[in-house]
Structure 1
Amino acid sequence: MRLSPKDADRFEKNRLADKIRANRELEILSDKTGHVTQHLKNQNFNLFAEHYIKTHKFKDIRIVASAVEKFKLTIDNPRLKISKINPTIMETFKDYLLHDAGLAGETAHNYFIRFKKVLKSAKIQGYLKFMPTDDIQFSNPNKDDSLRKQVLDAEEL
């Protein structure tokens, strides 16, 4: 039996609709289990970060870009998948910022906070189910070294 062109077109549309429905069902089910679907799991972090930096419209874009560069120096894996970023990797990144990156003052903390924005964007877009930085406390050891503003009282004025 041979299908007419009209029936073949309808058959193809139904097949495509079934495939879309099945993928959507999988996404809905995976939201409840914490499972990341395969096409999202294989996203390269470097490509994602580059796209984020190009589309980021806030004033802190230079700090975000610098934080991503420091992360790339720390991990040194151009094929790193977003789904492979875990608390251990983030702890390594934090230690690098604090001790080996040559940063002073609040810069290490600022880089870490800005890098978390990239990860939060990945979570919002479905690449991550959980933030790998949730249990990491970042305390700046140089916090007490910052300059304190001295205020003159009325008598000194």
Structure 2
Amino acid sequence: MTITVTPRPTRNGQKIYYTLEWGKGPGERIATGIYTYAKPKEQLQKNHNKEALAILETKKSQLTLEQQSIGTGHIPSHKFKANFLDYYKEYVDNNKRKGNRHLKNSLDQFKAFVKKTFLAPIEITENICERFRQYLLDRFNGDTPANYYAKFKKVLKAATKEGYYKNNPTEEVAAKSSPITQLKENLEAEEYIQLLKTPCLNQEVKEAFVFSCYTGLRHIDVKSLEWSQIKGSSLTTRIIQKKTGNPLVLTMHPIAQAILEKIRIRHNGLTSIGKIFVLPSLDGCNKIVQRWVKDAGVDKHVTWSCARLSFSILLQDANVDAATVALLLGHTTSRYVNEVYKRHRLKDQSEHIQKLPGSHLP
């Protein structure tokens, strides 16, 4: 296969751009972005032309090597990135999915771990993989360390397939979860009512939090929620279902619908576009929620994530099956419902202990 350099003058004839071609069919021509001056008027332009043509020849040679290596298993050295962090970022950019933040977060955490802007691929050893895993375990609870490290492993697996490594440096370093040392509080049904009846310093935060309690949405999902996602009693989430490829659609509880209607009335019905809630940061919202919870007489440490947990627990208390609860939470399996979004403490121990035989005897 012969690759030719084709010059293409601009309309005014002042510059010449170049393409590399090896046929006339689709995909058999690429624009290099390289140009020269058609009639250089000064030494600077002459120097530019000389350098540009040298770069053009290099690109032609690289493309020739790429074409010749197809089917051989050999990867030309120019295809490799000198900085592993650049490879990692490119992988994240090419594989990111809406609603899935684990991949990008894994890159952010790895950068924070290495504290470098340049890291050669050869520096990624089994030892550094083990230390990165421990770094995650020391900083996060639950499945978060395992989720972030699993994405890191996927990046290394891809890099190994592409020829960066003879043996995958993270092959023997398995992802691990961290035990949850502090169980999150959940709100009971009667506490829902207490909060609904109690004024809050920030009405919009109150409405958004209650909305989360009745939809199971996270703070980030509620904060970014737009009117275009609402249609009647249905809410179209930004969660894409793997099986169908379509977004998850939820049927809203009457209280969630009432909150939206209240906001519409407050804005004189001019709410067809844009975000529904205007909220502070997560930390700011949590401070407001904790003050409001205290005013309501609820003696619990409540944060925004408690709304999602409470949503799951109260549905399960009402005998809604785990698969349905998982669907409403946007999960494809009931694993997280059974492991994370469940009641960790009995609501009323005496009610259950009385079920033992002989309880009716004096």
Report the equivalent of 1:87.
Answer: 126
RMSD between aligned alpha carbons? 3.6
What is the DSSP-based 3-state SS (H/G/I as helix, E as strand, rest coil) of the residue aligned with 2:174? coil
Distance in 2 (CA, whole Å) between partners of 1:54 and 1:89 is: 24
Structure number with higher strand proportion: 2
Alignment map for 1:121-140 (pairs within 5 Å): 121-140=158-177
Do the aligned residues in 2 keep the contact of 1:94 with 1:138 (CA within 8 Å)? yes
1:54 equivalent to 2:54? Answer no
Deviation at 1:126, TM superposition (A): 1.6
Which stretch of the first structure deviates more once superposed, 108-117 or 129-138? 129-138
Report the equivalent of 1:120.
Answer: 157
Distance in 2 (CA, whole Å) between partners of 1:107 and 1:37 is: 37
AA aligned opposite 2:155? V
Report the equivalent of 1:7.
Answer: none
Distance in 1 (CA, whole Å) between partners of 2:166 and 2:98 is: 28
Residues 57 and 138 of structure 1: CA distance in aligned 2, closer, same or farther (over 3 Å): closer
Deviating 4+ runs (over 2 angstroms): 36-43, 57-61, 137-141, 143-150
AA aligned opposite 1:53? V
Distance in 2 (CA, whole Å) between partners of 1:126 and 1:43 is: 13
Deviation at 1:124, TM superposition (A): 2.1
Report the equivalent of 1:75.
Answer: 114
Deviation at 1:148, TM superposition (A): 7.3
Residues 112 and 122 of structure 1: CA distance in aligned 2, closer, same or farther (over 3 Å): same
Report the equivalent of 1:13.
Answer: none
Question: Which blocks of at least 5 consecutive residues in structure 2 are unaligned?
Answer: 1-60, 184-338, 344-362
Report the equivalent of 1:65.
Answer: 104
Q: Deviations over 1:67-86 (max 9, x none)?
A: 01101111112110123211
Distance in 1 (CA, whole Å) between partners of 2:86 and 2:80 is: 13
Deviation at 1:132, TM superposition (A): 1.0
Deviation at 1:37, TM superposition (A): 7.2
Deviation at 1:39, TM superposition (A): 4.4
The percentage of aligned residue pairs carrying the same residue is 28
1:96 equivalent to 2:135? Answer yes
Distance in 1 (CA, whole Å) between partners of 2:116 and 2:92 is: 19
Number of equivalent positions: 127
Deviation at 1:141, TM superposition (A): 3.8
TM-score where L is the length of structure 2: 0.30
Q: Deviations over 1:9-60 (max 9, x none)?
A: xxxxxxx6xx949x95xxx69x7xxxx9754666211111221121115456
Alignment map for 1:27-42 (pairs within 5 Å): 39=78
Larger RCO (CA within 8 A; separation ≥ 6): 1
If you compute each CA radius of gyration, which structure gives the higher value, 1 or 2?
2
AA aligned opposite 2:164? Y
AA aligned opposite 2:110? F
Report the equivalent of 1:154.
Answer: none
Residues 51 and 112 of structure 1: CA distance in aligned 2, closer, same or farther (over 3 Å): same
AA aligned opposite 1:137? A
What is the DSSP-based 3-state SS (H/G/I as helix, E as strand, rest coil) of the residue aligned with 2:169? coil
Residues 78 and 107 of structure 1: CA distance in aligned 2, closer, same or farther (over 3 Å): same
TM-score where L is the length of structure 1: 0.62
Deviation at 1:139, TM superposition (A): 3.4
